[in-house]
Amino acid sequence: MLLSIEEAVRLIGKNEILHIAGSEDSLAKLPKGKWIGGTIPYFMTELGGLVAEEKVFVTGLSEYSGNVEIVTYDEGHLKNVLRDAPENGFTIIIIPAFSRCHISYAENAPNYEDMFMKPIIGWISGVHLDDLGKTTPKTFNGETGEKSGEKAIAMHVSLPPNKFAEIGIINILEPGQGDTLQFETEGFSVKDCLVNGLKTNFADYLVSNRIDAKLPLVANFSGSMVNVSIREINNPEKIVHLYAPVFLHTDYHIAQPVSDYVTEFMTRLSSEEIFPVFSCNCILNYLYSKLEGKKTGHLTGPMTFGEIAYQLLNQTLVYLEVKEVQG
């Protein structure tokens, strides 16, 4: 929930276990305690989407947690994040946008030890879009008071044996009916692609086909739709920069346009019973679908520069549930 700095300070003072999103100035005002944080001033709240520089979005985790560990990771140690995670529980991770950890996690996380065996959810911290290039996204270790523009911060939360964590996603974007696109190199920046098997410059393809750059590439990952959003088409250099890496041996399609994000989202939401402990959504959904002032039900949280449900995702809502073991 969105709280004033004073309200957040009170919760920290009660030794609550917290995940906190907010502007750098807001997070810097918080005292040490059992919390992790990341910078972003965009939120989806119960009252709708909004920008708030003076408030913080707080997610309480005390009621779910047995043992809690807060660990900072540099690029070299990030691969250990799931080795450190509990056998039964979950990890929330925040990574500063544009940092080496961001790129490393996006490209390598699917191959980390214990990936998919232990639930990991999180997001890429950002800044107010007016401040891009003026300041850098940060993460905060509430326990030590350290803030960083380079290091990831993780909270490992163990659960009692009668509970388990499950991560889900809501991606309303579907692959379009157009060309099949494949890539011969992996990464955040690409020059060439195969269009229905024919080698083509990707920037030329997007420009000559007048592709709306707000529509991501979408691939069907064995039942989960995974987006890769377009960051910039650099036509002079004939290179396309992306918000997540493309992978080899994967068929991508430009997404089918969505006329009304909120309506589509709420339709999808009404078909599922979700009781989120934590959720976050993408800043691009906020911008492209003009979510300021609009509501997306009880799935609230920061609007981020990238979402993590095991691996880095784009233009996708991710959520964590804690459920009772049946039987």
Partner 1 sequence: MVPAKTNGKWRALVTGELNHSFKSVPAALMFSGFKREVRRDNSPSNINRLIDKAYIFFIKYEALLVRDIREIFKQE
Residue 327 Cβ, how far from partner 1 at the closest point, in Å?
A: 8
Per DSSP, the residues of 11-67 read HHHTT--EEEEE-HHHHHTSPSSSEEEEE--EEEETTEEEE-SSEEEEEE-GGG-SS
Residue 55 Cβ, how far from partner 1 at the closest point, in Å?
A: 31
- The footprint of partner 1 (CB under 8 A) covers 110-111, 115-117, 119, 166-169, 220-224, 226, 247-250, 309-311, 325-326
Residue 115 Cβ, how far from partner 1 at the closest point, in Å?
A: 8
Residue 326 Cβ, how far from partner 1 at the closest point, in Å?
A: 7
Question: In the complex with partner 1, which residue's Cβ is closer, 18 or 217?
Answer: 217
Distance CA 189, CA 98 (A): 13
Question: In the complex with partner 1, which residue's Cβ is closer, 32 or 83?
Answer: 83
Residue 65 Cβ, how far from partner 1 at the closest point, in Å?
A: 21
Task: Return the exposure string of 46-85: e unless at least 16 CB atoms fall within 10 Å of the residue's CB, then b.
Answer: eeebbbbeebbbbbbbeebbeebebbbbebeebbebbeeb
Residue 229 Cβ, how far from partner 1 at the closest point, in Å?
A: 18
Choose among 19, 21, 308: nearest CA to 169: 308
Question: In the complex with partner 1, which residue's Cβ is closer, 6 or 324?
Answer: 324
Question: In the complex with partner 1, which residue's Cβ is closer, 133 or 161?
Answer: 161
Question: In the complex with partner 1, which residue's Cβ is closer, 224 or 256?
Answer: 224
Question: In the complex with partner 1, which residue's Cβ is closer, 168 or 187?
Answer: 168
Contacts of 124 (CB under 8 A, 6+ apart): 94, 95, 96, 97, 102, 137, 304, 305, 306, 307, 308, 312
Distance CA 13, CA 298 (A): 27
Please check whether residue 265 is in contact with residue 170, taking contact to mean a CB–CB distance below 8 angstroms.
Answer: yes
CA 295 to chain centre: 19
Residue 185: how many other CB atoms lie within 10 Å: 12
Distance CA 73, CA 154 (A): 8
Question: In the complex with partner 1, which residue's Cβ is closer, 103 or 167?
Answer: 167
Residue 78 Cβ, how far from partner 1 at the closest point, in Å?
A: 18
Residue 174: how many other CB atoms lie within 10 Å: 14
